[in-house]
Amino acid sequence: MEKKKKATLADIANMAGVSRTAVSMILNEKEGVSFHEDTIKNVRDAADALGYVKKETVSVKENTFYEDTILVLTPTVTSPYYATLVQAIEQEAQKHGLRVLTQNTYRDEALEKDFILQVRNTNLKGLISTMTPINVTLLEELNKTIPVVVINDKSNDIDLDTVEINNYSAGVLMANHMIELGHKHVAYISTTLNSINSARVRRLEGILDTYKKNCPQGKVLVKTKDIDPEEERSNIHLEHDVGFELTLEALKNKQITGFIAVNDMVAYGVMEALKKQGLRIPEDYSICGFDNLFPSKFQSISLTTVEHYIVSKGQNAVGIIINRHQQRRSPYSSTRVLYKHELIIRHSTGAPRE
């Protein structure tokens, strides 16, 4: 005997002479939407006639899937910086019997918002944003019920628990290093510079202010390329490619003797561009970056950079979430952890060419 086909919203819509959306709103009693009484009656009569059975919705609060889970929002795990940070979070979470769910946002405001809304009414253990979020207000609201920790730049004033690094002073540190070596003219190579990517901006501000103060006869050439979310999603070599491309442009300025990359990944692109031009590092050009990624210590790279304690920041973020649960701390108080950076001098920087 052939099994009877279950009635669908489309079937009801056809019988009642209304749209499928209207059927869904009426049967689910959507708030803030009203229909004529006859329309509501027609839809419900059609549903009864077709034997439509409404799916029972399970209360999200009853769903235990998120109970021991931390959600991590990160721009992209193709970046070694964020990949290391996420893994550090996972390692620390595992020590406490917690799982980690990671979502790439690609710095897309709508996508980030969607992820936040999906967990808004769940029993999620906590949420960690590995960069200053775009939807700050939404996360501050979420923090009333679910602990939220942001790993960000010290300059951002947000009402959430934070693990911070002062990127402005990191820029000052690197600029002074280049000035002390004798580099009067340098290029700053970066991906998008805007309020969303405040860490990049603050590093540049620290560099510019230091050159203005300690090397007024010098100049910082700023080369940047704006990247949209779709491009970040589609190109896993993005930062390296930007470093390579912008370096070739900057080489047209013959006064430049050094490059300060916004991070180590961009610095690797700078290095490759120089080597493909037959130029030596640091005899012809000095290069430095930020973050101190693992490959930066390789002998063949030996990049001068700034230590940003990636692993420790991830561990601290998890610890803050656990402590808030254990201490039942009010969401209206906040914890701030600030890391000091360290200049790591390697073989990629030296005195400028004559």
What is the pLDDT confidence band of residue 159, given thresholds at 50, 70 and 90? confident
Give the pLDDT confidence score for residue 128 in this predicted structure: 98
> 4 pLDDT exceeds 70?
no
Instruction: Using the structure block, give the residue that is written with the tokens 């790439």.
Output: 104
Model-level pTM? 0.79
**Contacts of 249 by beta carbon, 8 Å cutoff, 6+ apart:** 223
Instruction: Using alpha carbons, select from 238, 235, 290 the residue that is nearest to residue 259.
Output: 290
Number of Cα atoms under 13 Å in the Cβ half of residue 261? 34
C-beta neighbour count of 180 within 10 angstroms:
10
Percent of residues, the chain, with pLDDT higher than 90: 72
**Contacts of 118 by beta carbon, 8 Å cutoff, 6+ apart:** none
User: What is the mean pLDDT of the segment spanning 254-278?
Assistant: 98
Q: Which of 131-140, 293-302, 325-334 has the lowest mean pLDDT?
A: 325-334
What is the pLDDT confidence band of residue 63, given thresholds at 50, 70 and 90? low
Is 309 in contact with 339 (CB distance < 8 Å)?
yes
What is the pLDDT confidence band of residue 61, given thresholds at 50, 70 and 90? very low
Instruction: Using the structure block, give the residue that is written with the tokens 């390692």.
Output: 91
Is 76 in contact with 104 (CB distance < 8 Å)?
yes
C-beta neighbour count of 37 within 10 angstroms:
8
* Interatomic CA distance for residues 304 and 260, integer angstroms: 10
* Interatomic CA distance for residues 311 and 301, integer angstroms: 21
C-beta neighbour count of 327 within 10 angstroms:
8
* Interatomic CA distance for residues 157 and 196, integer angstroms: 13
* Interatomic CA distance for residues 58 and 52, integer angstroms: 19
* Interatomic CA distance for residues 207 and 220, integer angstroms: 8
> 91 pLDDT exceeds 80?
yes
Instruction: Using alpha carbons, select from 79, 68, 194, 192 the residue that is nearest to residue 130.
Output: 79
Structure tokens at 305: 């950079």
Is 145 in contact with 138 (CB distance < 8 Å)?
no
| 126, 264, 274 from 269: Cα distances, Å | 36, 9, 9
Residue 133 falls in which region: left (phi positive, over 0), alpha (psi -120 to 50) or beta: beta
